[in-house]
Amino acid sequence: MTRPFLSVENLVVHFPTPDGVVRATDGLSYTVEPGKTLGIVGESGSGKSVSSSAILGLHRNTSAQVSGRIWLDDVDLLTLSDKDMQARRGKDVAMIFQDPLSALHPYYTIGDQVAEAYRVHNNVSRKAARDRAIEMLDRVGIPNPKLRVDDYPHQFSGGMRQRAMIAMALINDPQLLIADEPTTALDVTVQAQILDLLQDLQSEFKTALIMITHDLGVIAEVADEVLVMYAGRAVEYGTTKQLLTAPSMPYTLGLIQSVPDLSSDVNEPLRPIPGNPPSLLDPPSGCAFAPRCTFKHLVADGLPDTVMPELEEIAPGHLRRCHLKEHDLSKLTPLAVGDVA
Amino acid sequence: MSGPLLEVKDLTMHFPIRSRGLIPRTVGHVPAVDGVSFSINAGEALGLVGESGSGKSTTGRLITRLHQPTSGQIIFDGQDIAQWSSRQMKPLRRDIQMIFQDPYTSLNPRHTVGEIIGAPLEIHKLVPKQGRLRRVQELLEIVGLNPEHYNRYPHEFSGGQRQRIGIARALTMQPRLLVADEPVSALDVSIQAQIINLMKDLQKEFNIAFLFIAHDLAIVRHFCPQIAVMYLGKIVENAPREELYTNPQHGYTRALLSAVPDMRQATVGGRRERIRYVAGQEEITPATAS
């Protein structure tokens, strides 16, 4: 059997601190195929950004302990030297960051910054790199790119800066693109444009896309598969439809229910998940979600508080980490399929 | 009833554009808020939505008089406070309080929670010193925090807990109007719902009117029976929520609604129809199948 295009296997990222080891990511596995989108959902501190930065080798080995395997096209990225990784970063694998204002350098023009990745990885003249940058800015929908290429970041609006970031990430036609909350800082109208743009470019270049977000609406619109993370571990993994219409564990359900949509009953109070996410320094001994779980009384012997459930397959391609029995799953009320507007 | 608690009439705020150079001159104006009118009754909530730069935050800051309006009226409880001096405003600051967007930067990291929440009591000298702690603990309890945590510092709390502290501080003076500027957009989704429910309970319990500024249309719809949409400094539509969401009249409102990501899209796949509003024109991108 051939290996999937991107295969993350048992990824562990630990940060030793004076107060103890922060288990930011603990035993994470997933795969992504070319042209497909994996959505990673979770709250702040669930390890979604940390695990993705590991793919690009962005963790300093003096402060982070990274282990596991990250296979990209049959090469384990974690075994590469810094130099070899550098040759791939920005070429085969690229990342779009959440906040374009802090990710762009204020002293360099947009054109210089977009062209830089191209010049580093291709032996081309300044002129050729600049032309390529103009071409990319045009492709991501910056009006008048020949003039705007010499603008500084502060002369761009938020949506245009994010487009410039996308142009920068896509300039070498990467095979894998990681978008870390690419639209969180943007208005909904601009967000819609950026998401549409990413999908158009993805179908054009057959890029594998990892979309990190906390917005399940965004997930529903762009992702083929979804990975839900909690306290550094995968708690549910399946197709977008499986997860949003038939969530198989209480945290995913809680995320779905806590968000109002444009048709929910305004007289009902919202249904938040009680409590706060656990500390990664001292995670609960059993199921990490147990202290906040409203279903744990359905499990006998206080199991959730003492034993960490394993990730199990409940349907083809649908995994979950939960003690709840199959027959109790019907008590989790999912999004009704007939509820389509 | 003697009319609305807050009535804003033709409110305008022009930010000056200054020329560069040794002696800056005012060379023009940006009309951030351009003839805005609306009213809020006691105990009711008005939602103000719009994109960044539409002037919704500036409107909130004008009502709390953190900015000086260029012209127009802000009638609070029958008095036009638009041009009042800060001395005149001081007693009124009890009635109008603000909840800020970012719970990480809006609390002084060097002050304990007790000092933060108790500061208004000290400034307005309403409660004798001995009674302050009791009031602070009472407020902590109201917003769902442990009253024994009054001597902790903001960094010891999570984002959602900090926002509760911000709300407790706003409640200290028993305000009649709360201006909440994106109160949940910096929080995790599971925590957003907690804060929205808390604010709704407080609104009912203390009969507080809200000006709720946000860009998340689903949350605004949940919190506010009446919603105003701002675009380029003007209110382009102001309607009861059922009407606004089912039958939007303005092209910009339609564009805004078509852009909200919808979880139900997962059941159909593909892309929804989108409406773009550019220079007064609507452009429709048709839906696609997956």
For every residue of B9-33, which 3-state class applies, written as one string? Answer: EEEEEEEEEECCCCCCCEEEEEEEE
Q: Which CATH superfamily is domain A1-87+208-341 in?
A: P-loop containing nucleotide triphosphate hydrolases (3.40.50.300)
Average pLDDT rounded to a whole number, residues A127-133: 95
Q: Given an 8 Å threshold on Cβ–Cβ distance, is A220 in contact with B265? A: yes
Q: Given an 8 Å threshold on Cβ–Cβ distance, is B189 in contact with A341? A: no
Residue A286 CA to residue A296 CA, distance in Å, equals 12
In 3D space, the residue among B29, B146, B10 whose CA is nearest the CA of residue B72 turns out to be B10
Average pLDDT rounded to a whole number, residues B49-53: 84
Confidence check: pLDDT of A192 > 70: yes
Closest residue of chain A to B194, computed from CA coordinates: A272
Assigned domain for B27 exists: yes
How many CB pairs below 8 A link A and B?
141
| Domain range for B69 | 6-285
Question: How many structural domains does chain B have?
Answer: 1
* B193 interfaces chain A, CB cutoff of 8 Å: yes
- Please say whether the beta carbons of B151 and B114 come within 8 A: yes
Confidence check: pLDDT of A334 > 70: no
Residue A314 CA to residue A326 CA, distance in Å, equals 8
Residue A121 CA to residue A92 CA, distance in Å, equals 10
Confidence check: pLDDT of B231 > 80: yes
Q: Given an 8 Å threshold on Cβ–Cβ distance, is A340 in contact with B272? A: no
Q: What's the Cα-to-Cα distance from B248 to each of B229, B245, B286, rounded to whole Å?
A: 10, 6, 19
Residue A330 exposed, middle or buried by CB count within 10 Å (0-12, 13-18, 19+) = exposed
Q: Given an 8 Å threshold on Cβ–Cβ distance, is B52 in contact with A187? A: yes
Q: Given an 8 Å threshold on Cβ–Cβ distance, is B193 in contact with A270? A: yes
Residue type at B42 in one-letter notation = A
Residue B249 CA to residue B107 CA, distance in Å, equals 40
* Predicted confidence (pLDDT) per residue in A1-28, tens digit: 578 899 999 999 999 988 889 999 999 9
Q: What's the Cα-to-Cα distance from A15 to each of A24, A276, A277, B159, rounded to whole Å?
A: 7, 21, 18, 22
Q: In chain B, which residues have their Cβ closer than 8 Å to the Cβ of A196?
A: 271, 274, 285
* B197 interfaces chain A, CB cutoff of 8 Å: yes
* Predicted confidence (pLDDT) per residue in A42-83, tens digit: 888 888 889 999 999 888 888 899 999 999 988 999 999 989
Closest residue of chain A to B287, computed from CA coordinates: A196
Confidence check: pLDDT of A336 > 50: no
In 3D space, the residue among A113, A112, A78 whose CA is nearest the CA of residue A93 turns out to be A78
Average pLDDT rounded to a whole number, residues A286-304: 87
Q: Percent of chain B having pLDDT more than 70? A: 98
Element (H, E) at B203: helix B189-206
Assigned domain for B52 exists: yes
Assigned domain for B65 exists: yes
Compute the CA torsion angle A309, A312, A315, A320 (nearest 10 deg): 50
Confidence check: pLDDT of B220 > 90: yes
Strands B226-231 and B234-240: antiparallel
Closest residue of chain A to B274, computed from CA coordinates: A192
Closest residue of chain A to B158, computed from CA coordinates: A276
User: How does residue B2 score in pLDDT terms, banded at 50, 70 and 90?
Assistant: low
Q: Percent of chain A having pLDDT more than 90? A: 49
Assigned domain for B102 exists: yes
Task: Report the CATH number that the domain containing residue B50 is assigned in CATH.
Answer: 3.40.50.300
Q: Given an 8 Å threshold on Cβ–Cβ distance, is B197 in contact with A266? A: no
Q: Given an 8 Å threshold on Cβ–Cβ distance, is A339 in contact with B264? A: yes
Closest residue of chain B to A218, computed from CA coordinates: B261
Beta strands across the sheet bearing B71-76: B26-40, B6-18, B71-76, B79-80
**ipTM of this predicted complex?**
0.79
Token digits of residue A291: 């202290």
Q: Percent of chain A having pLDDT more than 70? A: 97
Assigned domain for B1 exists: no
Token digits of residue A175: 């095979």
Q: Given an 8 Å threshold on Cβ–Cβ distance, is B221 in contact with A199? A: no
Probe site for chain B from A196, A221, A280 (most B CB atoms < 10 A)? A221
